[in-house]
Chains A and B, each alone.
Chain A
Amino acid sequence: DAGVIQSPRHEVTEMGQEVTLRCKPISGHDYLFWYRQTMMRGLELLIYFNNNVPIDDSGMPEDRFSAKMPNASFSTLKIQPSEPRDSAVYFCASRRQGGLATEQFFGPGTRLTVL
């Protein structure tokens, strides 16, 4: 079975450009999470969806960040305009509906570099 799929795996862009990161969760999973990982701040939750509906976006750093989940098999995280401080590895994760012990499955991440 395919795991969580993210694209692109690497993205290099210039400051001010729009960046779109993509995620395909595991089929049948009800929750989708977007995280950002940096050496300084570790792994931070940006936003999560339940049944395609955004539940908590309190981790989204600024209005430059937006996320959508138009259907159960696809989500995007967009940064517009991008800034050098947005450079990080962005992970998407998904899990089934269930209790607190339910496992989150992470994608391989997108390494974003903003010059």
Chain B
Amino acid sequence: TQLLEQSPQFLSIQEGENLTVYCNSSSVFSSLQWYRQEPGEGPVLLVTVVTGGEVKKLKRLTFQFGDARKDSSLHITAAQPGDTGLYLCAGVKSFSTDKLIFGTGTRLQVFP
């Protein structure tokens, strides 16, 4: 059973469009991270959110942690071809573990 479900699985858009990726679970997470992975490379951390309702912005990317700490979203404004990649959410279930549980992933393609 996949604890973190991401939607959509695939997304193809034109440069300049906006998009939102969702990361949902029925479990509560003590913290949640978003990573981006490019072909042939390992995932790279974009952001960490730890407080329910927290919103963080990274240039054109806006990340939100749900109030109940069960879900998160990533919104990209005016997408660019350089945003192309696999986006992964990853959560830590409790303070007693160091394990990250990764989501199912969203593959984004931005066309010029």
Contact = CB atoms under 8 A, between A and B. Distances in A.
Interface residues of A, number: 21
Contacts of A45: 99-102
A34 interface: no
A41 B43 CA distance: 16
The secondary structure that dominates the B interface is: loop
Nearest to B94: A100
Interface band, chain B: 20 to 34
The secondary structure that dominates the A interface is: strand
B104 interface: yes
Contacts of B100: 33, 45, 104
Interface of B: 2, 30-31, 33, 40-45, 48, 50, 88, 92, 95, 97-105
Interface of A: 4, 31, 33, 42-45, 48, 50, 55-56, 91, 93, 100-101, 103-104, 106-109
